[in-house]
A = this chain, B = another copy of it.
Amino acid sequence: VTEDLIHDERITAMGLLAEAVGGLAARFSAQLAEHDLAPVEFEVLLRLARSPDGQLRMTDLSTQTGITTSGVTRVIDRLDRDGLVCRQACPTDRRSSYAVITARGRSRLEAVLPGHLALIDEWFTGRLQPDQLTALLDGLRVVRDAVRPDAAANELDPAAPES
């Protein structure tokens, strides 16, 4: 009732958002672990699989995931070692290298995805009425586009303008 900053409704809103995502991530990680994938590795494989030719420059992976470039190097090191991804030199710019998802990587993804989608449905999308979900996603899109302008037209959310 005073100027009690720690009970501000904005904190509440942000807490709700963070707790929802954190809780979902916790649910997912168990299933991913069954398939020997860390969450970040799953994200990388997914982003590669969604990209043309299944490949992406290290730098682009960095901006898309929000991991530093050195962090990306380590993740790709692991995925490369496990044969889920391989590196490929860029023909036009010899500074750049591509991470390319391998057949093994794709099949690993296909092994994980059905269960993963079921979990998203069970804990997130399936719990909301269709219009309620739409409203939620519309709001999220506004925030996402503001806070990650680069990802706007981009990747894990095509927002495809009806080609």
| A32 CB, nearest partner CB in chain B, Å | 13
Contact residues in B for A123 (Cβ distance below 8 Å): 143, 146-147
A141 on the B face (CB < 8 A): yes
A103 on the B face (CB < 8 A): no
When chains A and B are docked, how far (Å) is the Cα of A11 from the Cα of B120? Answer: 8
A114 on the B face (CB < 8 A): yes
Q: Is the interface of A mostly helix, strand, loop or mixed?
A: helix
The number of times this chain is found in the oligomer is 2
When chains A and B are docked, how far (Å) is the Cα of A41 from the Cα of B90? Answer: 42
User: For chain A, which range describes its interface: under 10, 10 to 19, 20 to 34, or 35 or more residues?
Assistant: 35 or more
Which of A23, A120, A147 has the most C-beta atoms of chain B within 10 angstroms of its own C-beta?
A147
A89 on the B face (CB < 8 A): no
Q: Would you call A20 and B144 a contact (CB within 8 A)?
A: yes
Interface string of A103-133 (1 = CB under 8 A from B): 0000001100110010011011101100011
A18 on the B face (CB < 8 A): yes
Q: Would you call A114 and B147 a contact (CB within 8 A)?
A: no
| Beyond A24-B143, A123-B147, A128-B143, 10 extra complex contacts between A and B, CB < 8 Å | A10-B117, A10-B124, A13-B133, A15-B157, A16-B144, A16-B157, A17-B124, A19-B148, A19-B151, A23-B144
Binding site for B on A (CB under 8 A): 5-8, 10-27, 46, 49-50, 66, 109-110, 113-114, 117, 120-121, 123-125, 127-128, 132-133, 135-144, 146-148, 151, 155-158
